[in-house]
Amino acid sequence: EVQLVESGGGLGQPGGSLRLSCTASGFTFSTSWMDWVRQAPGKGLEWVANIKEDGSRTYYVESVKGRFTISRDNARNSLYLQMNSLRAEDTAIYYCARDFAYAQYDYWGQGTLVTVSS
* Residues in contact with other proteins by the rule CB under 8 A: 37, 44-47, 61-62, 95, 101-106, 108-111
Which CB sits closer to other proteins, 5 or 74? 5
Q: Which residues of 58-91 are buried (b: 16+ CB within 10 A; e: fewer)?
A: eebeeebeeebbbebebeebbbbbebeebeeebb
Backbone angles phi, psi at 76, to 5 degrees: -105, 5
Shortest distance (Å) from residue 109 CB to other proteins? 7
Q: Taking the complex as a whole, how short is the minimal distance between the CB of residue 17 and other proteins, in angstroms?
A: 25
Nearer to other proteins, 56 or 104 (CB): 104
Q: How far is the CB of 90 from other proteins (least distance, A)?
A: 17
Q: How many CB atoms lie within 10 A of CB 28?
A: 11
d(CA 84, CA 69): 8
Three-state SS at 61 = coil
Which C-beta is closer to other proteins: that of 12 or that of 109?
Answer: 109
* Shorter beta-carbon distance to other proteins: residue 15 or 106: 106
